[in-house]
Structure 1
Amino acid sequence: MPRVIVFLLTLVLTIPAHAEGFITRLLNKPVPGGVAVVELGDGVAAPQVRYQGKPALVIREDGQRWIAILGIPLTIKPGAQQVDVNGSPRSFQVEHRKYRAQHITLKNQRQVNPNPEDLKRIERELAEQTEAYRQFSPNQPSNLLFDKPVEGPLSSPFGLRRFFNGEERNPHSGLDFAAKAGTPIKAPAAGKVILTGDYFFNGKTVFVDHGQGLISMFCHLSEIGVKVGDPLGRGEILGKVGATGRATGPHLHWNVSLNDTRVDPSIFIGAFKL
């Protein structure tokens, strides 16, 4: 057999049956607080997928195979995880990632140790926001490579172990952008406004549903420019950067949630680093 034919046959046999698509290469960062992309095959109908009892985002990649895009909780330990696909278990691996610590000094001691009245307010506000994160609309996201909501350097990254006035609190659940007060904030993808409010910790806040459990939250705003029910096109203004709530200065805090799990927003803008 001529050498050229042998070479071509060898090349064909070494090419994976399903080469990774763009979305998989962009989003598959299977670490605690990251995103796992699980291949589901090329059936006619979209598989029904649940992870930790919650519905998951499913799309057809490159017009060929179905994939599930799963948010992995920060609390998950590295190792095997199971996802339910049409009632049957399927495994994927979670890898290790180390998060560093951040120490913050606040002048307002109530922002560290709230009083009883503050705690009642915080409990009410947490229930509101938890309900927003759990929404799951059937529409598919318009884009999964997000635009940055503001132009500016990234400051505090996702997953930091945070200490306020020396006391440890919940890890940093989003990504911060250093930006001047009044800087317009743009929707990183099309969506619908599902919640707005002025909260004890988050200050002025906007939640946007991008579809299938993919939710963005923007907080510490100086001004909210939308109302609940408003449709938002990609790049439309939803508010302005501020320092409301528990903030030491003007910046944008941006959360991204998948299947009611806060994940690293840097993944969606192509800025993820281990």
Structure 2
Amino acid sequence: MVCWIVLASPAGLAMPALNAVPGGIVQLTLEPIDQPAPTVTFNQRKTLVTQQNGNWITLIGIPLSTKPGEHKAVVQPVGKSRYTIAFDVKPKKYPESYITIKNKRKVNPNPDDMKRIKKERGQLGKDLARWTQQEQIDLDFRLPAKGRMSGVFGSRRFFNKQPRNPHSGLDIAAPKGTAIHAPASGTVIDTGNFFFNGNTILVDHGQGLISGYFHLSAIDVKPGQHINKGDLLGKIGATGRVTGPHLHWNMYLNHTKVDPALFVYDQLTELDDGAKAR
């Protein structure tokens, strides 16, 4: 059982649950808010800074590849010398997931597929490196779709018995055409069709906080479009590398994939839990 610490900002905004493990989120307390907001980096990437209880705080996404032990964030206050804050990352063993894919090219792509995949990785990397500086960050997320939780973040995946990268998001299985709504306000970064991800939407929520929606049957937004919480983004489908219709939902902090469940920890009971079957 995982214990999450839940905190709220003085403005009443919800905060994600905290879990100092690979794929989790760490919170560090910084300067009082009567001083300018400092800049914080982890692994040479800027991290989200916001306010809580009279102080600036930072939320840091921990990569799945992070080794347990002590790690350090670098803090650069305005007009002062930089300093570091140490924090500990605890180990976590994620479950294994064995999946059978009928389309063999989605497991072992041919040379032409690999050219497409390489190009798409470059595009996604550019999209996910986006940084929009803004003070107000909407952290009060809602579930983007109704359905059954069919896959959990971090599971060690085997496609047709071949090991592949860990699962990078939370899966919600539902019939094709089920609506997907924006879990928080933001701006659409990009949309498109990708070899593995299928029809895709990426949304910028500010300061490196980005959400992704994959395998869609329909896309109902355009790049550059501002969206409010609850707006229609698209519809659940079965495009890309899938075994059936579902939404694969990713969350990113400081260019790092983190567990989306941390943003909706108090709403997970609304999903019919089928994750153990995967």
Q: Which residue, out of 6, 22, 30, partners 1:32?
A: 22
Shift of 1:25: 7.0
Q: Secondary structure at the match of 1:130?
A: helix
User: For 2:61 and 2:111, how far apart are their aligned partners in 1?
Assistant: 34
The 3 A distance-change label for structure 1 pair 25 and 93 is farther
Residue aligned with 2:149, SS: coil
1:184 alignment partner, one of 179, 183, 204: 179
Number of positions where the alignment pairs a residue of Structure 1 with one of Structure 2:
252
Which residue pairs with 1:9 in the alignment? Answer: none
- The structure with more helix, counted as a fraction of residues: 1
Distance 2:168 2:136 in 1: 22
Which of 69, 74, 77 is equivalent to 1:79? 69
1:123 to 97, 113, 118: 118
189, 199, 203: which one pairs with 1:194?
189
1:11-57 Cα offsets, whole Å, 9 max, x none, are xxxxxxxxx84269743211100000011131421111011001110
CA distance in 2, matches of 1:104, 1:153: 17
1:137 aligns with 2:123: no
Report if aligned partners of 2:30, 2:56 keep a CA contact under 8 Å in 1.
yes
In the TM superposition, residue 179 of structure 1 has moved relative to its aligned partner by 1.3
CA distance in 2, matches of 1:191, 1:25: 16
Indicate conservation of the 8 Å contact 2:15/2:139, yes or no.
no
Distance 2:168 2:84 in 1: 29
| 2:274 match | none
Deviation at 1:153, TM superposition (A): 2.4
2:79 matched to which residue of 1? Answer: none
Whole-Å separation in 1 of the counterparts to 2:265 and 2:155: 19
Check the 8 A contact 1:142/1:189 in 2, yes or no.
no
- Cα distance in 2 between the residues matched to 1:141 and 1:247: 36
Alpha-carbon offset, residue 154 of structure 1:
1.4
User: Among the aligned pairs, what percent are the same residue?
Assistant: 46
Equivalent residues in 2 for 1:173-252, closer than 5 Å: 173-252=168-247
Query: Distance in 2 between the 1:249 and 1:130 partners?
Result: 27
* Alignment-derived partner of residue 98 in structure 1: 93
In structure 2, do the counterparts of structure 1 residues 157 and 260 end up closer, same or farther at CA, with 3 Å as the change threshold?
same
Q: Which residue of 2 aligns with 1:51?
A: 42
CA RMSD of aligned residues (A): 1.5
Letter in structure 2 aligned against 1:137: T
Q: Distance in 2 between matches of 1:107 and 1:26?
A: 37
- The amino acid of 1:51's aligned partner reads F
User: Do 2:31 and 2:37's aligned partners in 1 also have CA atoms closer than 8 Å?
Assistant: no
Deviation readout 1:201-241 (Å, 9 max, x if unpaired): 00000000000000000000000001111000011001000
TM-score (ref. length: structure 1):
0.89
Q: CA deviation at 1:171?
A: 0.4
SS of 1:185 mapped into structure 2: strand
CA positional deviation for 1:141:
5.2
Gaps of 5+ in 1: 1-19
User: Where does structure 2 lack aligned partners over 5 or more consecutive residues?
Assistant: 1-5, 77-81, 269-278
Q: Residue 141 of structure 1 contacts residue 190 of structure 1 at CA under 8 Å; is this kept in 2?
A: no
CA drift of 1:95 comes to 1.4
CA distance in 2, matches of 1:266, 1:141: 22
Distance 1:132 1:216 in 2: 11
